[in-house]
Structure 1
Amino acid sequence: MINQVYRLVSARQFEITYKDSSIHSDYIVVRPTHLSICAADQRYYTGTRGEEAMATKLPMALIHEGIGDIVYDPAGEYKPGTRVVMIPNTPVEQDEIIAENYLRSSKFRSSGFDGFMQDYIFLERDRLIALPEHINVHVAAFTELITIAMHSLARFEAKAHSRRQTFGVWGDGNLGYITALLLKKKYKESKVVVAGKTPFKLNNFSFADEVYNINQLPADLKFDHAFECVGSIGSQYAINQIIDHIIPEGTISILGVSEYPVEINTRMILEKGITLIGSSRSGYHDFKNTVDFLACNQEVVDYLETLIGSVHEVKSIQDIIDAFEKDLTTSWGKTVMEWNI
């Protein structure tokens, strides 16, 4: 069958390419229905990813957050129309120590490997998870972002000490919101403190125990562990603030992505015996755990609906451009494309 792929060829310019794909294979064929725009997609779209990356990775179909309906399953395990979340990480090997999302050989959609902006996606059987029928599809569209927070919590569980009375979360954006929400739900008896810089965004963290502006932190603010969800150059200031306030021997989980090296106070990391935990992307088990968690916690899904910033029906390339441009001006939440092209 001929599959249409909508690739970014240069900043703000998409083109349709055609790819001959066979359904006579072991791949499950999925028709994307709802796609969510990520900040990483925007860096490619606007051309701010860097000249070298743009030159080596384009042309490329964007988007690594999305859901779709199964069109064809050669094994007959899934019925046509079954709604699934698609897993963008694509490992080509296994390692008994290194997780699939940290293997340097793994491919990741919309990062040098075509993403979900296609008519049909051909997936290995372990690259999708069936979704519960009742879940909000616009929330489900950014399941991948939720799995990143879920993955960081799994790494925290494996590496941090057992005292978990208070958590600090730095960042008032989408990832900070999700991480703080999951912490509050999973550690019900613990206090969750959120620090950010934008008042109207912080107002959305109604579930948190305490919310502070980063310029007005109490001198006596303390917590056992922290999660940095700021990214970019701001992560430098966030990590150093966390180091100042964290109780000795706590862990700092770093989730924010920065294009450039940042300076952090290593002297106090040593003096306090702080453990830094890096977390990036996610794998099959993170998706499975996230879907199971959301299926059993409708109130979490209700809170996540707050992150639906805008929804755009896409029927043409111009609609794709309009959605990306609108996303650039959206100050809160995720932009979701209803993929009807």
Structure 2
Amino acid sequence: MINQVYRLVSPRQFEVTYKDRSLKFDEDFVVIRPTHLSICAADQRYYTGTRGFEALAKKLPMALVHEGIGKVVYDPRGELSSGTLVVMVPNTPLEQDDIIAENYLRSSKFRSSGYDGFMQDYVFLGRDRIVPLPDNINPQVAAFTELITISTHAIARFERKSHLRRQVFGVWGDGNLGFITALILKKKYKDSKVIVFGKTEYKLDNFTFVDEVYQIDRIPEDLWIDHGFECVGGQGSQFAINQIIDYIQPEGSISILGVSEYPVEINTRMVLEKGITVIGSSRSGREDFVQTVDFMKEYPDILEYFGILVGHVCVVKTIQDIIHAFEKDLTSSWGKTVMEWRI
């Protein structure tokens, strides 16, 4: 079959390429037709050309988007019926390690980061790279399941590496990742206090499920947290991490989730004085997707909260529609832009 792949060839310019793919392939692969794709900040850095000249020269042309769901078109084993809705796992490990998780192996491939993402007519995925979704799930929410798995993964690492006094959590960041992380923490630790710190009042108004919210320049001096989660990213992560260091109790942990293109300075003196554990987390693996889907099944009401994050929904039938969706996303101050993939 001829598969059409919609690749970014230069900033703000997409082209269609054609790849011939036989259906007589390894039975470990399944053919998926994408239905809903979600635009990530990383996709925007490629689209706008702000990723850096060297990275663009090395990775383009490339199909974007690593957040998405689709329906099974063909399963050579017949285990999954046609039309089954699944979430697609963008990380593709090439080896297994008893210590290092698949998303940290340097040999792993990650879609829309040097390898074609989900902006294709059909995606050929390993059987272990898909996770079936509940029948009644909102597909616009399910589209950014991958982003939710980032928080799931970070919290799982926190649970393994931090001490057990977990009375007060602090989440820095009033955007999508901060919203998701705070929500999962509140669900998992019902008896604990979750406090969110951000810059923008109207964004903080969306955090109705947490115990307290504060603007970062109006934090009470006597406030303390046991553990902190940095969900800011960019240059702002420097200020966020240092503020967490100021307000965290000794021997607490700081989970860093935000991505910064450039190195940031942190107050290592106080990291040492307080005996703080710093936990880095990046991306996620299949197990995080399974846990996230199970979490959605266990707490179905969480999907209503995630629905608040659905921003623009753009129907995509042409390349011009793709450009429109990315440009629309650039003007959005809150939530995720979802593409209904009908191209």
Does TM, normalized by the shorter one, top 0.5?
yes
- Quote the RMSD (CA, aligned, Å): 0.4
Aligned counterpart in structure 2 of residue 196 of structure 1, from 198, 205, 210: 198
What corresponds to 1:242 in structure 2? 244
Q: How many residues align?
A: 341
Task: Please show how residues 217-256 of structure 1 align to structure 2 within 5 Å.
Answer: 217-256=219-258
Q: Which amino acid letter does the alignment assign opposite residue 293 of structure 2?
A: V
Question: What is the deviation of 1:209?
Answer: 0.3
Task: Please show how residues 277-316 of structure 1 align to structure 2 within 5 Å.
Answer: 277-316=279-318
Please state if 1:215 is matched with 2:217.
yes
Deviations 1:38-91 (A, max 9, x none): 000000000000000000000000000000000000011100000000000000
Cα distance in 2 for partners of 1:221, 1:55 equals 47
Question: What is the deviation of 1:318?
Answer: 0.2
Please state if 1:8 is matched with 2:12.
no
What corresponds to 2:22 in structure 1? 22
Question: What is the deviation of 1:22?
Answer: 1.2
Deviations 1:2-33 (A, max 9, x none): 00000000000000000011111121000000
Cα distance in 2 for partners of 1:133, 1:77 equals 17
Aligned counterpart in structure 1 of residue 143 of structure 2, from 118, 141, 144: 141
1:135–1:295 contact (8 Å) kept in structure 2 = no
Cα distance in 2 for partners of 1:298, 1:285 equals 20
Question: What is the deviation of 1:295?
Answer: 1.4
What corresponds to 1:49 in structure 2? 51
**Which sections of structure 1, spanning at least 5 residues, go unmatched?**
none
Q: Calculate percent identity across the aligned residue pairs.
A: 73
What corresponds to 2:62 in structure 1? 60
Deviations 1:87-115 (A, max 9, x none): 00000000000000000000000000000
What corresponds to 2:39 in structure 1? 37
Cα distance in 2 for partners of 1:321, 1:310 equals 14
Cα distance in 1 for partners of 2:241, 2:219 equals 14
Cα distance in 2 for partners of 1:328, 1:65 equals 17
Question: What is the deviation of 1:298?
Answer: 1.3
Task: Please show how residues 146-161 of structure 1 align to structure 2 within 5 Å.
Answer: 146-161=148-163
What corresponds to 2:171 in structure 1? 169
Question: What is the deviation of 1:140?
Answer: 0.2
Q: Which amino acid letter does the alignment assign opposite residue 133 of structure 2?
A: L
* Higher mean C-alpha deviation, range 289-298 or range 63-72: 289-298
Q: Runs of 4 or more off by more than 3 Å in structure 1?
A: none
Cα distance in 1 for partners of 2:23, 2:63 equals 21
What corresponds to 1:83 in structure 2? 85
**Which sections of structure 2, spanning at least 5 residues, go unmatched?**
none
Give the secondary-structure state (helix, strand or coil) at the position aligned to 1:248: strand
Deviations 1:140-180 (A, max 9, x none): 00000000000001000100100000000000000000000
Give the secondary-structure state (helix, strand or coil) at the position aligned to 1:319: helix
